[in-house]
């Protein structure tokens, strides 16, 4: 089940947010942020949105989404995903990304762009591809992976079939 995140949810998101950042394999966030420092990096205000994936009473993942750029770039959505490592392999990432796609279509975005998908994060790359995303390019050596060293980051892209482009 995916629902919008509340302020109270941040205390449940931060533990896996911080462990994923510390693992150094998937995201370029500042290192070692406290729970208060990290909050604005993940908890989005409108027109953006942060959601949580809930399994029974546990928050098992989270996504943030919104315009990729302001102004004349604001018809392009983007998103980021964190799944609690204890809940990998259960479809949480797929559910979160499907929610991003549905929300972006409803909100009238024309495309979704991921700016920085670490190429060695193959499970995520394959998942986004299975949902229709295409790799536009791989920026060489753009991510300093904790164990693999410098690896590329994919720019990934999904055109949406929103109301404006649907036929009569």
Residues that bind its own copies (CB under 8 A): 21, 24, 27-31, 68-76, 110-111, 113, 115-116, 136-137, 139-146, 150, 153, 155, 157, 159
Coil, helix or strand at residue 166 = coil
Rounded to whole angstroms, the Cα distance separating 16 from 35 reads: 11
CB of 156 to its own copies, least distance (A): 10
Q: Which is nearer to its own copies, 101 or 158 (CB)?
A: 158
Q: Which is nearer to its own copies, 15 or 159 (CB)?
A: 159
Residue closer to its own copies (CB basis): 3 or 69: 69
Could you tell me the smallest distance in angstroms from the CB atom of residue 87 to its own copies?
24
In whole angstroms, the minimum distance from the beta carbon of 55 to its own copies comes to 29
Give the separation between CA 77 and CA 48, rounded to whole angstroms. 9
Residues 153 and 166: their CA atoms lie apart, in Å, by 32
CA 3 to chain centre: 15
User: Rounded CA gap, 16 and 18, in Å?
Assistant: 5
């Amino acid at each position: 089940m995916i629902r919008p995140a509340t302020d109270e949810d941040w205390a449940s998101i931060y533990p896996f947010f911080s462990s994923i950042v510390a693992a150094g394999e998937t995201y370029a966030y500042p290192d070692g942020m406290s729970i208060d420092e990290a909050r604005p990096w993940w908890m989005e205000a409108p027109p953006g949105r942060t959601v949580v994936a809930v399994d029974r009473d546990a928050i098992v993942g989270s996504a943030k989404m919104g315009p990729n750029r302001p102004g004349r770039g604001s018809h392009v959505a983007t998103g980021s995903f964190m799944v609690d490592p204890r809940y990998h392999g259960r479809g949480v990432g797929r559910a979160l990304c499907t929610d991003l796609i549905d929300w972006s279509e409803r909100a009238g975005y024309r495309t979704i762009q991921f700016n920085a998908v670490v190429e060695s994060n193959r499970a995520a790359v394959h998942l986004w591809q299975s949902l229709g995303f295409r790799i536009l390019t791989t920026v060489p050596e753009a991510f300093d992976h904790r164990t693999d060293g410098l690896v590329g980051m994919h720019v990934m892209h999904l055109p949406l079939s929103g109301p404006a482009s649907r036929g009569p």
